[in-house]
Structure 1
Amino acid sequence: MLQVPIGDVEIAPGHVFEWSVVSARMRAADPSPPNETTTYNQAKHFAVAHETQGDDDAVCAYVAGTFEIAGPVDRAALEAALLYFVRRHEVLRCTFQQLSGDLSCDALTPEDIELKCIDAGSAGSAEEVRAYLHRFFQRVDTLSWPLITMGAVVRDDSTTVYFACDHLVTDGLSTPIAVNDIATAYEAYARGEEPDLPEVGSYLEFSRAQRDATGAMDADDERLDHWKEFIARGDCFFPPFPLDLGVEPGRLYPTVNVTETLLQDREADELAARCEAAGGRLFMGVLAAVGVALRKEGGPDVYRGLMPVNERGRSAYAHTMGWFINTMPIEFSVAEDRDFPDVMSGVRDAFTEMQRHADVPFVKAWHLLAPGDYTALRYWPYAVNFFSYLDFRKSPGARQHVARNAKKHLWVSRSNGICFWFHRNDAGLHMNAIHVDTPQARHAKAALGTTLTHTLANMRTAGTF
């Protein structure tokens, strides 16, 4: 799976069909009010969408996926697979409502869910398909149900299946789960069989467990000590991105979205071997390279950033759609006098320490520890240093990613900073970056990319920076 802007994907033209999720319960005059708890991520995300509804500075975003079905498609089997997928995952059946200052939700039963097929006509060129998909993906709206939309571009010899979700019900690892579920279910139905997929967990149970464990947490809770120490050393809750992006305080800008390949598969394997010899793993080496590259471009001797942490574990949640991502602070030295083994040791120790405290939800720490004028912020207050790494080869259905031409598409309309999503697939190591569209940001991103590429090459070939 490759994470790439939809505008960079070549999808052949064809006939377009859309499937809308519908429910008789949602059409009822007086549906039951939601009474289940939500995660802190969901509550913050929904509150921001509600507060900015209709504002000029509202931010639009989507998390989407596409994959290919070879040969003539069985449309009945595809519709059955899409219906199976939505019924299978509780979070996709949830409705949300802000009550008493907090967000509540309720899950419709699988039997409450149906699909409505819409013939959207033909798309006559690859450019027309890309433009259509970008518009279609933007139909997902945090404040409107359903929070997923799906469709297909059908041709005589192949079909492109696509879907988009609001972040309220998905995360970076949900996209390969969705591709595998839909494709596997389609193949089963096309053979006249029922799908046979692993058990999935209840997102509502995950939400309740999170609230039960941290609902009573206050600013004096010792579980916040890791955050407090991080804040004290850097004198801020949000670690700033250290390079000048040319942004004005309090302003959001249109974004640039680009994916580039950093290492081919063999080269990534070579770097992984170097990292393992130094007592680390590939993602630690990539993080070390980012920290060193930032320092070479004028950044500090200590890397300080935020890093997403997967909360699925190896339980049934491993195959469950939802927002199972926490965000934690991490810091380590990248001083010029530290060699490759030293920096790798620092990254490994920092990551181990971060994991020890990963049960503290980011939004909870934000509200309890950030300065008073930051607690009600809609977005991060300035360009924040953010690093994400995913190995799609370890996700459900990874062995079929190449055959299915599976892709993930992430888009944000506006921003005040820059974010990097590094990901490994069968072809190598890639970087998807979304940043503000300013001259300084374009220059900083290009310079950092060049320095990062050279740093990774030095690490791979010589074990140096």
Structure 2
Amino acid sequence: MEYTHLSEFEIRPGMLSIWTPELPGAAWQPDARPLTSVHAGYCAGVDPADPLPGRGRWIGTVFEMDAPFLAQAWRETLRRWHARHEGLRTTVDPSARTRLTAAVDDLVLAEQPIDGLTDGTEINEFLRGALELRLSPLVWPHCLAATVEHPDTADFTVVVAADHSVLDAYSQAILILELRALYREAVEGLPSRASATFGSAADFAVLERAAALALQPSCPAVTTWREFLAGGSMPRFAPHAQRPVEAGLPQPSVSRRVLDLADLERVEAALDAIRHRLSVAVFAGLALANRQRFGESGLRTVMPIATRPDLRWLESMGWFVNVVPVDIALTDTDGVADALDRTRAALRRARTAGDASWSRVLELLQVAETPRFGVSFLDIRVLPGYELVADLRGRTLRAESYSPDEVFLWVVRAADGLYVSTRYPAGFPAEVMEEFLTEFGHALRAITAMESAPAPHAQLVAAAHSAADPVGYAQAPDASHGAPDPLTGAAQVG
């Protein structure tokens, strides 16, 4: 499944409607359950007077429902979805920054048809503007939906967008089949599927905040972060390569296939032979590419990981993500085998911080700086029904960012290959990013040479450069399914 901007998704012409959940003011009740550490910090950093609160913040999903559009059934679908997930009926008291929660009884879904707007490109532009304007972590609703009915093909496009405080990347992916199932149940007049795995994100927050408050400066997680930040600041991605540009420019975005399925399966077979996991290979490949292209002695970054602690929250909508530090130190003579070993050790060190709220740890360390360079790996086959999601043209979406210094990479093991998506500052040369991603592909291909005999890094890179199959530049297709991360036991998502 491609992680991209809405502007890069071709919406077919049709009839657009915006669907907004509404609740009377009296429905909101004080909720003693806390916000998670990251949620509270996130809200504290938002200007309540910002006229475009969703700018650079919202995330979402787009797909095509394989059924005719029935307005009443869709209305009921959204009502059931909000009833199921308490996090969609939670907001923040703007004065006290405490939780408010509403029961579903008074919730209604208001439809706003957008008359006279049927061109797909114009619909896309309209939605991007509306989401920047309307989505905020401080003002409910934090989640909106749009439908584009296509009468000629008897189906419709669905866009779901939310402030990051109520969705994470795993939520973005699983909501496609959830909404599809809810819609079919509503159309057929069936009750919704019951499950013990739709746990409340607010209940998770109770556990997370208690664990965060229990952290002490002597805890292993704090020590791991302290050592990571011993140099004085969060890592940056190739800051010396950036050129000065005017402020406020949107970040470029790249999405491409690094390995096709045949290449990827050869790499995975080689990894099986030497007892390494694909997640280790991905980070080792990035470290080798960083050394090859920028002369860096490895890779220092942060990694988002899923924090759904048990099955109770497996299908929940919410923000279940922590961040851990990854420090892969290479020598000038390290080959691929050395890089894999050092990377596995680095990822194991990162595990010591997996259950500790990164925002609380930074607070204990008196570090105000937030991460500027992150890498996420996800084997998307962990998600159920990935073949169907591909047929529905499913995409997970991120808002365009305007950061002058952030770089993020999302690496996905999809059904037909390995993909990478990235966003980076407007002042970072596109050709330099392309060269880095190409080196990443070369480093991964070099792993296959390890099946027969070890070889120095330079020989392996040379062999990879001469491989018959070039690095693919195709846009990532709609794949979505994968296995849990071998080190964390959970899919790593941002």
- TM-score (structure 2 length as normaliser): 0.84
CA-to-aligned-CA distance 1:67-86 (integer Å, 9 cap, x gap): 11224223322221122112
Q: Which moved more, 1:348-357 or 1:85-94?
A: 348-357
In 1, the alpha carbon distance for the partners of 2:204 and 2:186 equals 31
Q: 41-50 vs 346-355, which deviates more?
A: 346-355
- The sequence identity of aligned pairs, in percent, is 22
User: Is 1:160 the counterpart of 2:160 in the alignment?
Assistant: no
| Pick aligned residue for 1:143 from 110, 134, 138 | 138
Residue type at the aligned position of 2:118: G
The CA distance in 1 between the partners of 2:363 and 2:346, in whole Å, is 24
Distance change in 2, residues 1:424/1:126 (3 Å): farther
The letter for the 2-side match of 1:288 is A
Residue number in structure 1 paired with 2:267: 271
Classify 1:370/1:246 alpha carbon distance in 2 versus 1 (closer, same or farther; 3 Å): farther
Q: Determine the C-alpha separation between the residues in 2 that align with 1:413 and 1:385.
A: 14
Structure 1 residue 207 corresponds to structure 2 residue 205: yes
Q: Greater shift after overlay, 295-304 or 41-50? A: 295-304
- Residue 223 of structure 2 corresponds to which residue in structure 1? 225
Distance in 1 separating the partners of 2:296 and 2:161: 38
What is the DSSP-based 3-state SS (H/G/I as helix, E as strand, rest coil) of the residue aligned with 2:229?
helix
Q: How does 1:411-426 map to 2 (within 5 A)?
A: 411-415=399-403, 416-426=405-415
Partner AA of 1:430 in structure 2: Y
Instruction: Say what the alpha-carbon RMSD is for the aligned residues.
Output: 2.6
SS in 1 for 2:411: strand
| 1:406 equivalenced with 2:394 (yes/no) | yes
Contact 1:278/1:345 (8 A) holds in 2: no
Residue type of the partner of 1:186?
A: Y
Aligned residues: 448
Cα 1:294/1:137, change in 2 over 3 Å: same
Contact (CA 8 Å) 1:5, 1:259: kept in 2 or not?
no
Task: Give the direction of change, closer, same or farther, for the CA distance of 1:220–1:455 in structure 2 (3 Å limit).
Answer: closer
CA shift in 2, pair 1:390/1:315, >3 Å:
same
**Cα displacement string for residues 119-147 of structure 1 (whole angstroms, at most 9, x for unaligned residues):** 11254333223212322332311221100
**Conservation of the 8 A alpha-carbon contact between 1:85 and 1:178:** no
- What amino acid is the match of 1:133? L
Give, in whole Å, the separation in 2 of the partners of 1:201 and 1:268: 36
1:275 shift after superposition: 2.5
Of the three residues 155, 160, 170, the one matched with 1:173 is 170
What are the ranges of 5 or more consecutive residues in structure 2 without an aligned counterpart?
A: 452-459, 462-494
Q: CA deviation at 1:87?
A: 1.6
For residue 107 of structure 2, what is the aligned residue in structure 1? 113
Show CA shifts across 1:267-312 (max 9, x none): 3232222223232222221111111101111242232110011111
Matches within 5 A, 1:188-203: 188-196=185-193, 198-199=195-196, 200-203=198-201
Other-structure match for 2:360: 364
Counterpart in the other structure of 1:12: 12
Paired AA for residue 425 in structure 2: V
1:285, 1:343 → 2: CA distance?
9
Give the Cα separation in 2 of the matches to 1:57 and 1:151: 19
C-alpha distance in 1 between matches for 2:232 and 2:432: 23
Cα deviations by residue, 1:42-85 (Å, 9 ceiling, x for unpaired)? 0111111137x439999532111011122422332222112211
**Does the Cα contact within 8 Å between 2:57 and 2:163 map onto a contact in 1?**
yes
Which residue in the other structure is 2:426 paired with?
437
Query: What secondary structure, in the 3-state scheme, does the structure 2 residue paired with 1:173 have?
Result: helix
- Partner amino acid, structure 1, of 2:137: T
Deviations 1:326-373 (A, max 9, x none): 0010112333422222221222222222223312111111212144xx
Cα distance in 2 for partners of 1:22, 1:58 equals 19
Q: Which residue of 2 aligns with 1:330?
A: 326
Would you say the 8 A contact 1:276–1:282 is kept in 2? no
Alpha-carbon shift at residue 243 of structure 1 (Å): 4.4
Secondary structure, aligned partner of 2:178: helix
The aligned residue for residue 339 of structure 1 is 335
C-alpha spacing 1:71/1:170, structure 2 compared with 1 (3 Å): closer
Query: Alpha-carbon deviation of 1:113?
Result: 2.3
Conserved? CA contact 1:37–1:204, under 8 Å: yes
TM-score calculated relative to the size of structure 1: 0.88
Q: What is the aligned partner in structure 1 of residue 179 from structure 2?
A: 182
Alignment of 1:114-129 (within 5 A): 114-129=108-123
Partner of 2:74: 78
Q: Is the 8 A contact 1:65 1:409 kept in 2?
A: yes
Read off the aligned partner of 2:107 and give its amino acid letter.
I
When residues 210 and 259 of structure 1 are mapped into structure 2, their CA distance, relative to the original with a 3 A threshold, is same
Partners of 1:221 and 1:411 in 2: how far apart? 36
Counterpart position of 1:43: 40
Assess if the C-alpha contact under 8 Å between 2:224 and 2:352 holds in 1.
no
Listed as ranges, the gaps of 5+ residues in structure 1 are none
Matches of 2:416 and 2:346, distance apart in 1? 29
* Shift in Å, 1:222: 4.9
Choose the corresponding residue for 1:300, options 292, 296, 306.
296
Alpha-carbon separation, structure 2, partners of 1:122 and 1:56:
25
More strand by share: 1
Are residues 370 and 56 of structure 1, via their aligned partners in 2, closer, same or farther at CA, if it must alter by over 3 Å? Answer: farther
Q: Is the 8 A contact 1:5 1:258 kept in 2?
A: no
Task: Kindly provide the amino acid, as one letter, of the partner of residue 66 in structure 1.
Answer: V
Match of 1:447 in 2: 435
Contact 1:2 1:425 in 2 (8 A): no
- Paired with 1:82 and 1:17, the residues of 2 have a C-alpha distance of 14
